Structure 1
């Protein structure tokens, strides 16, 4: 198989395809290092929570270390989650145009090799987790149950995005667990807001596969919402902004945090205005743009935390 043919269909021309050692490429693709957007989206609630918790504590002396550890942990554990997803979905992936070139259905690695790689990534993630306090360690371990069941949800419900939201938003709890050693009402509100955000952006992402999903019996909110997608995005994105705003209020956040939230809200509104569900390329671009939306909110929270600590 040529290198070009070995590339994943919706990821070409990245550093994995052009610079990584040939032997490592299938494993880096399993971890989605050729498409890191999911790792960034997993990271955003972690960073939001850490910054908000540091503001609550009026202390940012440990925030830089936590931000770095969350960065490493998010990329490694997202890789582990994607590897698990690819192992469980290997038969379905072979039936979908966008995913049939993934490493397992394409024959680049076996399911057994992928499982060994999954364990290796999980061990790295555990090493990161063990840098935190015992309450944070237990909180992090508790998320694994949700991660484990997520790949199966698309087979039984039109709402797998809710389960993805539960998993991808767990970082909204972790920041408080790490910084404060507890989970405050502000963390719970932030978690709920992040879940609503995930449901929205993953609905956009799922619109790339609606035809194939309908043929093979895979369910999603994209299929459920259909022509009502704009209205449902307005509902879930709007709920995300309200719930995150509630979290900021409960956490005693100041003006910079709310400015960041306002920028986040404007970004989401622009996504709703621009989306055309039949345009797969546009859906992918809008989905990826959520990293920038998340960074806008984080910037506001970070400035607020620093000012409150001063």
Structure 2
């Protein structure tokens, strides 16, 4: 993270991001609302889609890997992540004004009205629906069902210590979408992948939430970071260990073998590094370990694709 150079830039945006540097003035508030200046959320939403598409190719090698579906999933991830963030900021606009990291977001800072944010939300959701209907009917139904989770997530930090669980339920949904787009069904493999992604999300979002732990305590916002307290490192480590076990099981159920198993070794090593080097008192340390999960997704995608090619 870096200190913003643009007057409207948010605190957790990277210096020199394309929105601050190149986007026209009228677009910047909308781009920041959708987090286009912080694409890590797109990656984390997209990777479960990529994994499930690749596992479906391992399961049905004669059908090959559906690269077109991969592109659809990525565009859908951009749109749905943007819509989810927009909805989240509409719901959390009063809370965001009280948190140092979020008070410069477009709505609490006055860059955008709530009305314009709602219009932008609807536009993103409609475009995402146009992407979704490119798939089979079963996948369309699966995709629409995810809206329930997207809708309830922003409220969970007010009522439960486990908002990260609900984020995991929503953010991992691509594990079901990708597989069903190829098979028109759901089975043990995508369910195991989905479970692993939920556990992974709880782990990395707990790390992310460490950045706000003091402000959250002051205003009464709940999180697993606050719940785990001094035990955050061993508990996140347990979630990550269970994550790798679920992913390995999903691979074996899909028909994968030693290539995927070997590919999970660096994945496990990266997750272990996050836990062992985590400093819960340093927001920049927490953010960097959170961000490194993008590379976890990249390595696992490569491992599954190598399994398919072999």
TM-score class, shorter? over 0.9
Which segment is superposed worse, 97-106 or 262-271? 262-271
Q: Distance in 2 between matches of 1:194 and 1:237?
A: 10
Report 1:44-63 matches (<5 A). Answer: 44-61=47-64, 63=66
With normalisation by structure 1, the TM-score equals: 0.97
Residue 142 of structure 2 corresponds to 139
Say whether 1:221 aligns with 2:224: yes
Q: What are the Cα deviations for residues 67-99 of structure 1, in whole angstroms up to 9, with x where unaligned?
A: 111111111100000000000000000000000
Correspondence for 2:175 among 172, 177, 192:
172
**CA apart distance, 1:4:** 2.0
Say whether 1:5 aligns with 2:4: no
Q: 3-state SS of the aligned residue for 1:278?
A: coil
Q: 3-state SS of the aligned residue for 1:5?
A: coil
Is the CA contact (8 Å cut-off) linking 1:260 and 1:298 kept in structure 2?
no
Q: What are the Cα deviations for residues 2-52 of structure 1, in whole angstroms up to 9, with x where unaligned?
A: 972211111132110010001000000011000000110000111001100
Residue 185 of structure 1 corresponds to 188
Q: Distance in 1 between matches of 2:199 and 2:183?
A: 25
Say whether 1:162 aligns with 2:168: no
Correspondence for 1:151 among 154, 158, 163:
154
Q: Distance in 2 between matches of 1:59 and 1:51?
A: 13
Correspondence for 1:197 among 196, 200, 205:
200
**CA apart distance, 1:263:** 1.6
Q: 3-state SS of the aligned residue for 2:135?
A: coil
**CA apart distance, 1:62:** 5.2
Q: Distance in 1 between matches of 2:282 and 2:63?
A: 43
Structure 1 residue runs of 5 or longer lacking an equivalent are: none
Residue 238 of structure 2 corresponds to 235
Change (3 A) 1:3 1:270: closer
RMSD: 1.2
Is the CA contact (8 Å cut-off) linking 1:158 and 1:220 kept in structure 2?
yes
With normalisation by structure 2, the TM-score equals: 0.97
Correspondence for 1:263 among 249, 266, 269:
266
Question: What is the aligned length?
Answer: 306
Runs (4+) off by over 4 Å:
none
Q: Distance in 2 between matches of 1:196 and 1:272?
A: 14
Is the CA contact (8 Å cut-off) linking 2:54 and 2:65 kept in structure 1?
no
Residue 107 of structure 1 corresponds to 110
Report 1:66-145 matches (<5 A). Answer: 66-145=69-148
Correspondence for 1:291 among 279, 290, 294:
294
Structure 2 residue runs of 5 or longer lacking an equivalent are: none
Q: Distance in 2 between matches of 1:10 and 1:243?
A: 32
Is the CA contact (8 Å cut-off) linking 1:172 and 1:191 kept in structure 2?
yes
Change (3 A) 1:238 1:3: closer
Is the CA contact (8 Å cut-off) linking 1:60 and 1:305 kept in structure 2?
no
Q: Distance in 2 between matches of 1:171 and 1:99?
A: 27
Correspondence for 1:64 among 63, 67, 85:
67
Is the CA contact (8 Å cut-off) linking 1:154 and 1:219 kept in structure 2?
yes
